[in-house]
Amino acid sequence: MAREASKEAVARKQQQSIYARQRVVISGVTPEIADGRYPIKRARDERVRVEADIFADSHDALSAVLLVRRQKDDRWNVLSMRSLVNDRWYGSFLVDEPGRYVYTLQAWVDRFKTWRRDLKKKVAAGQDVAVDLLAGAELLENAASRAKEEVADRLKGYGDILRGDRVTEVKIRTAFSRDLLRLMIMNPDRRFATTYHKQLLVVVEPRRGRFSSWYEMFPRSAAAEPQRHATFKDCENRLPYIAAMGFDVLYLPPIHPIGQTNRKGRNNSTVAEPDDVGSPWAIGSQEGGHKAVHPLLGTLDDFRRLVQKGAESGIDIALDLAFQCSPDHPYVKEHPEWFRQRPDGTVQFAENPPKKYEDIIPFDFECDAWQSLFDELLSVVQFWIEQGVHIFRVDNPHTKSFSFWEWLIHTIKIDSPEVIFLAEAFTRPKIMYRLAQLGFTQSYTYFAWRNTKWELEEYFQELTTSPVAEFFWPNLWPNTPDILTEYLQTGGRPAFIVRLILAATLGANFGIYGPAFEKMVDTPIEFGTEEYSDSEKYQIRFWDMNRPDSLKDLIARVNRIRHENSALQQDRNLIFIPVDNEQLISFGKYTEDRSNIVMMVANLDPHHTHSGWVDIDFEKLQLEPQQPYQVHDLLSDARYLWHGGRNYIELNPQVMPAHIFRIRKKVRTERDFDYFM
């Protein structure tokens, strides 16, 4: 025991000795979420830029590096950092596969850089540097002791020159040689380096997590004729239509058997008629639960075929993940311990007073049998992954345990890092952000209710320029089966068009609930509500897919614009452009090298023509103030030649309520021929 205590004392003393000589401070690290508690988020093949305040006492030169590794690896990659101003440093690294990465920082007083810097000043001042050259030789010899054999020999050779009888000019040239600097950078003296006290995480999502276009469709309403419950085969037949509009994710509400007890009738009636099909979110019957499909839709084999056919069309099938049950779900009888019991002996149904959902029973995430409940719900996700599903839209995640989601998503992504989770959490901002921190890839937003210019600008500046942007990826939906906003109810065709264009260009991820959107369905069940009349949530709807007034062609064009312009495939590059009319909003996006610049202008008033002057920021967009530039309207294919920063816009919503401009710079060829690129 005494010997072990002595070893511990020696180790502590050695650590104290090192700590006492650590002169560098590392603070103010960005990005860092919640003091390092949660990871930041990036998509595959994106770069992570890390900044920090790094400084030390005195005037010595410093060196700093980023230490980066995949979480599953042991070996760190060492990447140099560079200084900015005011003791701020930065570095970056590429994340090239889905999963988790770890990064931290290390910095030290660099005696060689300090010596080299000071030597340069003394030489410039004409001072005698003989002793300084000897000091440099000592630094090289110390570095040689840390280096591999071949490099060590070269460093010793350089040291011999500094110590030898060569003329001073040769020694000075040697001291400043680039090769020597490179060798010394490769073999630094980091004995007293300061390592940042946290190891920070990056969750890397698949590319579709960063950029996607979603289309929501009730599979039972996909039949080609009225009054028939559609099948997965009918959904297959709808795939070319969806692909032609440019969508790459087809989201299906729950496809499971639907309970009979307390089944809801049409328009959310509490009394169902014999032929009423019920709400798909009332999951479970004697025919099965969360791992079964509704028998009228088909079989699991039919569903797997739909997933395969979707992939052939470039479409991923996303499933609704609704962790709740109908009273008829097998879980209710087999595992009553997973549900909350009321004093009268009945199971507690779902409520959001004064609303009641008598056809749905929530799980009790605080029950004593929580571990078996967690494990079973995990197995549900794993089951559908085995069927080929890698995208889940999660119903009301904010009504379930935070710790459950953190555990489930992390567990799933260990073996399936390509899986995407979209949080349908229309709730308070802090809760929405916490869910994103816990692992949700994307989230619904308040976009549907942000209609005025100041609301949109304020909200999207928060989402794209604050620390929220490091972990919260918005998915913008102008409508859902639960949300038919007043703006869409009263604005007619122009309202649907402008909300489509705003959703598709303000955000890299967006979606629509169709065919209600492209058919411009705008009738609520009653004035003052956002509920659709004859909602698909409670009945089968027949859709005429060939209506001549459909927005499908415009939607296809907008999606094509998104795919052809990489500036629209990210969020943090959003800027708002001043325009002197509160009914007009203008904003832009651009790639880092400004090879792709897109500018949007939209009339927020669906009823009246509005005009105004937009002010282009030449410096931000890296345009030449004296050169004309072309604005190419990608919606109409019209082209305009603009001069200067202030230009006139007029938008008649009955014609087209928005522009999507590609800004093209003037380029001169070798033959003195000008064109716009």
Taking only the tens place, the pLDDT of each residue in 549-586 is 999 999 999 999 999 999 999 999 999 999 999 999 99
- Whether the per-residue pLDDT at 675 is higher than 90: the answer is no
Q: What is the pLDDT of residue 353?
A: 73
Q: How far apart (Å, rounded) are the C-alpha atoms in residues 153 and 131?
A: 23
As a 3-state breakdown, the chain gives helix, strand, coil percent values, each rounded to 5, of 35, 25, 40
184 to each of 57, 334, 454, 488, 667, how far by Cα in Å?
A: 23, 69, 54, 65, 44
Q: What is the pLDDT of residues 502-538, one digit of tens each?
A: 999 999 999 999 999 999 999 999 999 999 999 999 9
- Whether the per-residue pLDDT at 670 is higher than 60: the answer is no
Q: What is the pLDDT of residue 358?
A: 84
* 580 among known catalytic residues: no
Domains 1-105+199-205 and 575-676 share a fold: yes
Band (342; pLDDT cuts 50, 70, 90): confident
Q: 54: which 2 tokens?
A: 């790094």
CB 159 within 8 A of CB 144: yes
In the chain, domain spans? 1-105+199-205, 111-187, 575-676
Q: What is the pLDDT of residue 569?
A: 97
Q: What is the pLDDT of residue 357?
A: 77
Q: How far apart (Å, rounded) are the C-alpha atoms in residues 518 and 544?
A: 11
Percent of the chain whose pLDDT exceeds 70: 95
Which has more pLDDT, 14 or 24? 24
Average pLDDT of the residues in 174-192: 94
Report CA dihedral (52, 55, 61, 63) to the nearest 10 degrees.
-30
Average pLDDT of the residues in 161-172: 92
Q: What is the pLDDT of residue 5?
A: 61
80 to each of 66, 180, 572, how far by Cα in Å?
A: 6, 17, 25
242: left (phi over 0), alpha (psi -120 to 50) or beta: alpha
Band (14; pLDDT cuts 50, 70, 90): low
482 to each of 99, 230, 267, 478, how far by Cα in Å?
A: 34, 22, 12, 11
- Whether the per-residue pLDDT at 87 is higher than 90: the answer is yes
Share the mean pLDDT of the chain. 94
Q: How far apart (Å, rounded) are the C-alpha atoms in residues 169 and 453?
A: 67
Q: What is the pLDDT of residues 143-164, one digit of tens each?
A: 999 999 999 999 999 999 999 9
Q: Identify the CATH assignment for 111-187 out of 1.20.58.80, 1.20.1560.10, 3.30.479.30, 3.40.50.11540.
A: 1.20.58.80
* 424 among known catalytic residues: yes
Number of H helices and E strands in the chain, helices first, is 17, 32
Q: Which residue in 424, 522, 571, 605 is the catalytic one?
A: 424
Q: Which CATH class is domain 1-105+199-205?
A: mainly beta
In 3D space, the residue among 496, 665, 672, 674 whose CA is nearest the CA of residue 596 turns out to be 665
Q: What is the pLDDT of residue 677?
A: 60
Superfamily name with CATH number, domain 575-676: Golgi alpha-mannosidase II (2.60.40.1180)
Q: Which residues of 31-41 are buried (b: 16+ CB within 10 A; e: fewer)?
A: bbbeeeebbbb
Q: Report helix, strand or coil for 390.
A: coil
Average pLDDT of the residues in 186-202: 95
- Whether the per-residue pLDDT at 253 is higher than 70: the answer is yes
Q: How far apart (Å, rounded) are the C-alpha atoms in residues 261 and 272?
A: 10
Q: What is the pLDDT of residue 17?
A: 67
Write a three-state SS string for 463-529: HHHCHHHHCCCEEECCCECCECCHHHHHHHHHHHHHHHHHHHHHCCEEEEECCCCCCCCCCECCCCC
Band (347; pLDDT cuts 50, 70, 90): confident
Q: What is the pLDDT of residues 105-137, one digit of tens each?
A: 999 999 999 999 999 999 999 999 999 999 999
Band (668; pLDDT cuts 50, 70, 90): low
The answer, yes or no, to whether the previous bond of 31 is cis (omega within 30 of 0) is: yes
Q: What is the pLDDT of residue 1?
A: 59
In 3D space, the residue among 481, 478, 457, 466 whose CA is nearest the CA of residue 436 turns out to be 466
* pTM for the predicted model, two decimal places: 0.92
Average pLDDT of the residues in 82-104: 96
Band (227; pLDDT cuts 50, 70, 90): confident
Q: Which residue in 364, 395, 470, 536 is the catalytic one?
A: 395
Q: What is the pLDDT of residue 489?
A: 98
Q: How far apart (Å, rounded) are the C-alpha atoms in residues 512 and 524?
A: 17
